[in-house]
Structure 1
Amino acid sequence: MTTGDRTGGTELDVFSAQLGFVLDPFQINACRALEGGHGVLVCAPTGAGKTVVGEFAVHLALAAGRKCFYTTPIKALSNQKYAELVRRYGKDTVGLLTGDSSINSDAPVVVMTTEVLRNMLYADSAALRGLSHVVMDEVHFLADRFRGAVWEEVILHLSEDVRLVSLSATVSNAEEFGAWMETVRGDTTVVVDENRPIPLWQHIMVGKRLFDLFDTRARSGDVRKDLVVDQDLVRHVKQRQALERADSWESRGRGRRGGGRGYSSDFRPLPRPEVISRLDDEGLLPAITFIFSRAGCDAALAQCLRSRLDLTTPEQVAEIRTIVDAHTGELPKADLEVLGYWEWRKALERGLAAHHAGMLPAFRQTVEELFVKGLVRAVFATETLALGINMPARTVVLERLVKYNGEAHAELTPGEYTQLTGRAGRRGIDVEGHAVVLWQPGVEPVDVAGLASTRTFPLRSSFRPGYNMTINLVDRMGAAESRALLERSFAQFQADRSVVGLTRGIERNEAALTTLSERLGGEDGEYFEYARLREELSSRERSLERAGRTERRDAAVASLVALRRGDVIAIPVGRHSGLAVVLEPDRDPTDPKPLILTEAKWAGRVSAGDFPEPARSLGSMRLPRRFDHHTARVRRDLASALRSTGIVSPGRRKRKKSGAAGDDAEIARLRRAIRQHPCHSWPDREQLSRIGERYNRLARETETMRQKVAATTNSLARTFDRILSLLAERDYVSAGEHPDATEHGTRLSRIYCESDLLVAECLRQGVWKGLGPAELAAVASAVIFESRREGDTVESGGPGALRHALDETVRVWRELRADEIRHKLPPTREPDFGFAAAIYHWASDNSLVEALIAAGDQGRALSAGDFVRWCRQVIDLLEQVRSTSPDPEVGKAASRAVAAIRRGVVAVDAA
């Protein structure tokens, strides 16, 4: 798509005349397309100036007397963009809508989080009238596993006459994304710019020496294929590795344990204060050092505070104090100590800070402002800072190239490396940016070069229908149109494109099968019949083995369901094998996961997969009525009591084979037929059998591919139908070909959280009825809180009414999960009681210290920032409970709970 050149008198001329800089070619192309009536998708590196295109959309809307909504993925970005637009257009013209704030919502320009716009669309809000442009900043968030569906919902539901401005980081499949936008939004101009406005230099710091990663002398031009790793760096790293190996061998000779891969386990990287000082000497501050854990960021800051490192002047310290007081003056004085306020302030006065989600929002916002002003010059941050907050630096430092992805430690991808290092280089301030990787044993320069020179960041849709989405779709457009809309999603678009490759593979396989069939004498020939008998025998043997596995799993499931509290069992295999006691049974008939404690003091949940043979009770032991298995002392005492029972693990019994091939009449019949077949005596039988095996293997592979095609085609619509079926069973929609939302369904349509149907069921069944404000806050937290540590569970506690409500919530969840498994739907996440005690104490008007201690008593080390964040999410849910509960008393309790929570640090950070 192209747009004609416009000269003189265009809105772009008016807009650009108001700017203090000259627009880049990609910005001009995108703005011209927008003024020409097209939607635009702009993909460009961090700091390239994509938001200028969004600001031009605001200009166009105002010039035409229409409205523009500017959406962002996170509240911090919304606040930042609101402040910028207010400075340009004034408070009367710009509004803000987030979960926390509602300012001038009827303004012609409103900045909002994407979820707010999605909710407006479902509610058919009057605010949508007169809307001409929507800016979706950071649109690549649609790949986010938890929230990505919201972006696609907005794109699919926006009126066709609204021009969409999509701003994205550089993605390698921008054309594919643009092609989809074209199909669902009409004319869409794709503008891709891969040139950073500020050149980025790559370095590796080995000890105190800072090396260029690439040898600029060896480059013939500014093309990535010309990049050559600096040979001085390679030689120095090899020398350092040799020294590490020599030190490792010497350490072993002295009886000390050596490190893996031939390197010394005693290796210590350069202390952080020395790294920062070295960067300061080179003129490379301000710098952001990315450390992939909150604790790591705090430890790095503490290490710097213990040193003499000081990066500020007396004049800067005075300015820092003024800004800190402005942000934190309303914090309750009694809470400052537990918030770590004084250490945090001391670090800021020395030009140092941490930045992560565990910090109090007011603290994070202070750090952001001070960093932008150049008053804080070294920040230790988690990767969340790279997701859109405007905090560019001269230098980005990566301490490690491995991070925990929620399941395992994995190496950084080129896309993640690019996203992180993209923060380096401040437009209008720096002439170049710098990325520094700290060397340690195992880091190879050629690997870093691969990360730095590869630009692969494909955008993958995470869209799938959920309960709330399904109800809103049915209510808005009916089932048939809803299916059609789902089939227009980017997720289905990508799935259908993958089908093209599968179809081609099927065609290739079918041609190969024809050739092999001819070599076997054709499908009507004698040997083909013989080969079919052999394949039937193999298939029958595989089927019996699968049946045996299923039978063993069913037996294991039944045995786990039968276990009772205090039963002593033997875990037969794995790293936790040996005696264990059941702390908490699980009656789920499909996938029971009882909580157990082993004699080695490990506590966790086990499943049928841990039992190749059924679990059986070897005896029992008395357990305390209430205990916290997260406490080391409790685990130690229980394990000691378990060992003192005198019960001995019987060891693993020899497993009896079930459904064995030797006992099967069909197996015996097939073997006889094969031996009696004429081809069994052919001299070239084995040669032909190898061809026959290839034919059969290819036929199985082709059938699998056909099944994948069938499963992929219309896959979202099938999931939608399964959800409808479950909702009809539970009376949220009417049954039949044209379902409508029932009264219960209308309530569900206004509940926006990950466990939406569980909340709706709890309200419907009266599970939360009769609770006081603090108790309701606690039980509401159980359906939204998610422990950061895998396998964390906490027994329900508190007053009797709360304990009963939590237990009943789990009962409702178990029933729901059984239905979801039956309907082949992803199960709703299990309620988590880990925040219940903390918010119960807070909503009961106790101090912040008492609330955090309560969380600690539940086995959680909860930071003040996490506490405030979860409080805000509980408030969001309670507001929904207030407006959707069929019981007025529950609604009143929710209102009182919101008021009880919104105080102190929570109220300050909501402002």
Structure 2
Amino acid sequence: MTSSDPVDNSTAAGVPAVLPEAVASFITQYPFPLDDFQLRGACAVAAGRGVLVCAPTGAGKTVVGEFAVHLALQRGGVCFYTTPIKALSNQKYHDLVARYGPEKVGLLTGDTSVNGDAPVIVMTTEVLRNMIYAGSERLDNLTHVVMDEVHFLADPSRGPVWEEVILNLDPSVVLVSLSATVSNAEEFGGWLTTVRGDTDIIITTHRPVPLDQFMMVDRQILPLNDPGHPEEANRAVLAAAARAEEKGRRTGPKRTDVIARMGAAGMLPAIYFIFSRAGCDGAVRQLLVDRVRLTTDADRDAILRTVDDGVRDIPTGDLGVLGFRQWRRALGNGYAAHHAGMLPAFRHIVEDLFSRGLLKACFATETLALGINMPARSVVLEKLVKYNGESHVELTPGQYTQLTGRAGRRGIDTRGNAVVLWSRGLDPHAVAQLAGTRTYPLDSTFRPGYNMAVNLIATRGYDAAQQLLDRSFAQYQAAAHVVEQASRMTRRRRDLAGLEKDLAGQLRSQHTDLTSRDVIEYAALRRDLALAERKSKLDSGSQREKEISNLLSSLSVGDIIALPTGNNPDVAVVVRSDSDHRHPRPWIVVEDGWCGPVAPESFGNVPVPVGHMKLHRNAGRSPKRNARAVASNLRRQRVDRPRKLKMKAGGGSSREAAVLREKVHMHPVHSLRNREDLVRPAERVVAARRTLDRELEAVTPDSETLSATFDHILDLLVELDYVEYAGDPLRENLQVTTEGERLSRIHHESDLLVAQCLRRGVWDDLDPAELAAVASTVVFENRRETTGRHITEVPTEALATAISAVGRIHGELTSDETRHGLPLTREPQTGFATAVHQWTSGAPLDYCLRAAEAAGSQLTPGDFVRWCTRVIDLLEQVKRTGYADSVRAAARRAVPAIRRGVVELGATS
């Protein structure tokens, strides 16, 4: 990295002329010189300061984490290296073992324990959280903690765990936080400094391998970001798109054509992102049908040796169920799929082969972008829209950057390639701007829960627990109540004065007539605009969903609607209506043949009725079976297709945003070519002033604070005897009961429901298979809504009774939660119960997958392994927290019964 590279070191010191001894010895381990941001991070850690490093994927931010490992070993301390998922932990463990040897490195991932007394332990963040609450002796000598992929703090399912760890770690531990590039890194770093002490914020947007952007239109690969002729490049793309439109090509070339064209252009190996498991598998089948081969004979032989070695322990019968022969043939030809629905052992083989350069094309879902070490020369994005679990939404700039970050192999490629496939309505200008936009916000998902509440009361007491919640990043972002001592006010004013001085110096160096007040005013306007747009989105959401619900409930069979998919929207026909006006879910068939039920939350805007067509009477009885014929007929219909369906703006707040947007565009700073260089320090001034004003206002907490939610949780736990008053009924006198101690050891999304089931004995006296099945009801979550008739019976009467009891206890619990104004515990699901019962009883894989399908759960082998692993995780906790000897014994016997065959391989791969 050179001094001209774009880097924002908000509070980071520069690289010293003479490196600390520990840093100097560390850099000799690498065959290449470290970049400035890596040296800055290492120097900060060597000086005993925390560090937040924000850098693009592939920039090498993990080097700073590896220095923390090096320093801990050199100084006789202990370093924990945490990651969000087991796959990343396994990968980092092998990397560190290769460098330091197996005797110095351990691995803890919940279901795997290797060398747990080593001075360096790689672990999932949940393991560290549990160790903190348990008061583990391993924390006594802990000197450094690396939090890799710390932006996972924004993940709703895992994020709260990260915040718990950051808040509960001993202040003496040096925290090294590694993050993707986020737009509010300064805010997050400011919070880390508040709760952890001095933390250097190091931000770089520099990519070690520059990225070129292309759009493929009708088998042509055209540049989007030609720095010498940007307008010419865009005109060429638009002209090619117009020609393709005239030819009637809907979405450009098929996947075989894309791979062939990229191979001819020297752009392989490539990761081809398709936001669908079925789409990834379908792409591999298409290449097989078209007899595509991308490997030499030597490569093919090396691939097949690796494959055969990797599946040696999988039973032959299971390999048939897994489609092994076709999968092996595709790998031998140089291509494969990669998604969460695959068997973990298969995914591991794909990752290994791709990282060795033996595979030339990998069709992947976005999960591959999560830290897995699979760099490629090129990345292909088939679409810029993905399903987020509720509706189809456009990729954010942060997601685009994360995905394209895989393009360009350091030390191999001089440039990386991002290729977006053209489709109707896609704006080349918008695509070209995606990579340069740093607008991925890191927002806290931290909320107190039942397990957290009893652990905080047990380890800290009520007052200290409240103070911890008040120090959370969620509370920091909410700006409702951040408790700080009066001495912090002086430091805030001093910091603000320094930031204002820096801004003034920046203005002088730019030789502009604008003053600091002008730039600060502009920065404040941009912040106000962002807040107004966020408020507008929230205000309009509920009204829009009501309008969508009314429309869906009014549709009749044969009605044709235009879907809100942007320019030139797709159309769909209703094949099965729904008379439920509160929760309508009509079935539709789209032009491309997709068929399924849609709910109001499936759409970001209101669909528009555009016509009607006659349907065969069987279309509604078997919509999926007749989808292709219906879609073909639909495409022949002549309907008045709207040119575009834009998102409706929301009321007053959107008018406010329009006014602010006009002010921003008319402001003199907005027309400056170098405005971002001036605005960035001004934004820090605005944020610092806002923080100071907030702290001076002495805001009184309202009913929406985390502290208030915590109090509501405690009220319910008192009612249920998990906590009690020791003396007068004052919150500071709360203490954990024996039942609460058991709850403190249940780490699960439905922790209180599990605790209640164990406490009331409804899982007692079940055999191991029955216990695994009933435990699955609070673990399993079907990926899609089930429709039609499915088998709801379970194998034994005892299991049916236990499942019924779980449902009854859940109903009582949600009634209590409603009364206390708390979020409702997720409803149990039975779709995996029979499958895991049969597997635990020794049935083969194909039998269990058919049982799941009969219950309305469409599971891939990878899904099956993942849910079995989740059931094992819960049963391991039941072994320690169950009240009755019978339930603990059944859990002990169930775990090895489940952990066999493909499930055992999934846990170790």
Using the size of structure 2 for normalisation, the TM-score is 0.74
State the SS of the aligned residue for 2:82: strand
1:66 aligns with 2:103: no
C-alpha distance in 2 between matches for 1:901 and 1:634:
41
Cα distance in structure 1, aligned partners of 2:843 and 2:831 = 18
Q: Structure 2: how far apart are the matches of 1:360 and 1:405?
A: 23
Amino-acid identity (%): 55
Equivalence map 1:775-790=2 (5 Å):
775-790=770-785
1:733 matched residue in structure 2: 723
- Does 2:748 match 1:745? no
Tell me the CA shift for residue 273 of structure 1.
Answer: 1.3
Q: Counterpart of 1:153? A: 164
Aligned to 1:797: 794
SS in 2 for 1:480: helix
Partner in structure 2 of residue 93 of structure 1: 104
* 1:186 paired residue number: 197
Cα pair distance change 1:164/1:9, threshold 3 Å: closer
**1:345-424 alignment, distance < 5 Å:** 345-424=328-407
Change (3 A) 1:869 1:740: same
Distance in 2 separating the partners of 1:141 and 1:309: 38
Name which one, 1 or 2, has greater alpha-carbon Rg.
1
Q: Cα gap change, 1:633/1:823 in structure 2, threshold over 3 Å: closer, same or farther?
A: farther
Q: 2:521 is matched with which residue? A: none
Correspondence for 1:618: none
Contact 1:768 1:805 in 2 (8 A): yes
Report the equivalent of 2:315.
Answer: 332
Matched, 1:41 2:52: yes
Q: Structure 1 286/242 Cα, relative in aligned 2: closer, same or farther at 3 Å?
A: closer
Is this contact kept in 2: 1:290–1:380, CA < 8 A? yes
**Hey, what does 1:234 align to over in structure 2?**
235
Alpha-carbon distance between aligned partners in 2 of 1:198 and 1:608, rounded to the nearest angstrom: 52
SS of 2:337 mapped into structure 1? strand
Residue equivalent to 1:723 = 713
Point out where structure 2 has 5 or more consecutive residues left out of the alignment.
1-10, 484-545, 557-573, 586-616, 623-655, 657-693
Alignment partner of 2:460 out of 477, 483, 486 = 477
The letter of the residue matching 2:115 is N
Change (3 A) 1:468 1:791: farther
State the one-letter code of the partner of 1:39.
G
CA apart distance, 1:241: 2.9
**In structure 2, what is the equivalent of residue 507 of structure 1?**
none
SS in 2 for 1:5: coil
Q: TM-score, normalised by structure 1?
A: 0.74
Identify the residue that residue 95 of structure 2 maps to in structure 1: 84
Q: How does 1:138-537 map to 2 (within 5 A)?
A: 138-218=149-229, 228=230, 230-238=231-239, 240-241=241-242, 244=245, 246=246, 267-496=250-479
Letter in 2 for 1:457: Y
CA distance in 1, matches of 2:772, 2:214: 50
Q: Which residue of 2 aligns with 1:807?
A: 804
Is this contact kept in 2: 1:487–1:714, CA < 8 A? no
Q: CA deviation at 1:796?
A: 5.3
Amino acid at match of 2:890: A
Residue identity matched to 2:897: A
C-alpha separation in 2, matches of 1:412 and 1:168:
19
Alignment deviations for residues 604-644 of structure 1 (CA, whole Å, 9 cap, x no partner): 9x586779xxxxxxxxxxxxxxxxxxxx999959xxxxxxx
8 Å Cα contact 1:16/1:23 also seen in 2: yes
- SS of residue in 1 equivalent to 2:460: helix
Distance 2:785 2:480 in 1: 35
Superposed CA deviations along residues 815-864 of structure 1, whole A, max 9, x for unmatched, are: 10111111111100000111111101101111111101101111222110
Matched residues in 2 for 1:875 and 1:36: separation? 43
Deviation at 1:798, TM superposition (A): 2.6
| Superposition deviation, residue 444 in structure 1 | 1.5
- Matches of 2:889 and 2:366, distance apart in 1: 40
Partner residue of 1:14 out of 12, 17, 25: 25
**Deviation for aligned residue 1:236:** 4.7
Contact persistence 1:234–1:445 (CA under 8 A): no
1:908 Cα deviation (Å)? 2.0
Q: 1:578 to 1:176 in 2, by over 3 A?
A: closer
- Whether the 8 Å contact between 2:19 and 2:43 is mirrored in structure 1 is no
Q: Is the 8 A contact 2:276 2:365 kept in 1?
A: yes
Q: Structure 2 counterpart of 1:394, which letter?
A: R
| Aligned 8 A contact 2:237 2:428 in 1 | no
The range that moved more, 207-216 or 126-135, is 207-216
Tell me by how many angstroms 1:305 deviates.
Answer: 0.9
Contact 2:181-2:205 at 8 Å conserved across structures? yes
Per the alignment, residue 544 of structure 1 pairs with none
Which string of whole-angstrom CA distances, capped at 9 and with x for unpartnered residues, describes residues 208-264 of structure 1?
A: 11111023214xxxxxxxxx4x434434534543663x56xxxxxxxxxxxxxxxx5
Give the count of matched residue pairs: 706
2:112 is matched by which residue type in structure 1?
S
Paired residue secondary structure (1:456): coil
Report the counterpart of residue 111 of structure 1 in structure 2: 122
Note the C-alpha offset of 1:447. Answer: 1.8
- 1:820 and 2:810 equivalent? no
Secondary structure in structure 2 of the residue aligned to 1:336: helix
**Alpha-carbon deviations, 1:700-745, whole Å to 9, x = none?**
xxxxx9xxx8776870001100000011111110043221111111
Say if 2:461 and 2:734, in contact at 8 Å, map to a contact too.
yes
Question: Per-residue deviation at 1:575?
Answer: 4.0
2:858 maps to 1:861: yes
Q: Deviations over 1:538-578 (max 9, x none)?
A: xxxxxxxxxxxxxxx9xxxxxxxxxxxxxxxxxx9764579
C-alpha displacement of 1:9: 6.2
Mapped partners of 1:609, 1:905: distance in 2? 39
SS at match of 1:337: helix
Q: Take 2:766 and 2:843, find their aligned partners in 1: how far apart are those partners?
A: 18
- Cα offsets for 1:471-490 (capped at 9, x unmatched): 11111101111010001000
Letter in 1 for 2:242: Q
2: CA distance between counterparts of 1:62 and 1:833? 49
The residue type equivalent to 1:762 in the other structure is C
Contact kept? 1:396, 1:434, Cα under 8 Å: yes
Name the residue aligned to 2:498.
none
SS of 2:734 mapped into structure 1: coil
1:432-831 aligned at under 5 Å gives the runs: 432-496=415-479, 575-576=552-553, 715-735=705-725, 736=729, 737=731, 738-790=733-785, 795=792, 797-831=794-828
Q: Residue 905 of structure 1 corresponds to which residue in structure 2?
A: 902
Distance in 2 (CA, whole Å) between partners of 1:872 and 1:326 is 24
1:877 partner SS: helix
CA contact (8 A) 1:496 1:713 kept: no
| 1:123 and 2:113 matched | no
CA contact (8 A) 1:46 1:422 kept: yes
Separation of aligned partners in 1, 2:757 and 2:35: 55
What letter corresponds to residue 724 of structure 1 in structure 2? L
Q: CA deviation digits over 1:770-823, x for unaligned, max 9?
A: 211111111100001111114679745331111111111011001101111111
Structure 1 gap segments, 5+ residues each: 219-227, 248-263, 501-552, 554-571, 580-598, 612-631, 638-693, 695-704
What is the CA deviation profile of residues 110-165 of structure 1, one whole-angstrom value per residue up to 9, with x for unaligned ones?
10011000000000001111110000000000000111001101100110110000
- Give the drift of 1:99: 1.9
Q: 1:169-219 CA deviation, whole Å, 9 max, x = no partner?
A: 01111111110000000011111111111100000011111111023214x
